[in-house]
Amino acid sequence: MFTNGQLIFAILFVIAFASALAYTYRKDLKLHKKYYKGSVWVLIAFISFILFIAVIKFAFM
């Protein structure tokens, strides 16, 4: 499906992108802690809501 060159490029791209993302996140960690202090609770609420909807769907099938 993919040639060897395409697979090598994809792997190198993913490694480079993940490295750049990690570097940038580490660089901005102080700002993240300052401005996004309560965002974990929003994430937990969102995941809980999605799970609640899934439970309701499978309970009434």
| Domain count across the chain | 1
d(CA 30, CA 11): 30
Q: How much is the pLDDT for 22?
A: 96
Q: How much is the pLDDT for 60?
A: 87
Measure CA 27 to chain center.
Answer: 18
Domain of residue 43, residue span: 4-59
d(CA 27, CA 21): 10
pLDDT digits (tens, 9 = 90+) for 11-55: 999 999 999 999 999 999 888 888 888 899 999 999 999 999 999
pLDDT at position 7 over 90: yes
Q: How much is the pLDDT for 25?
A: 92
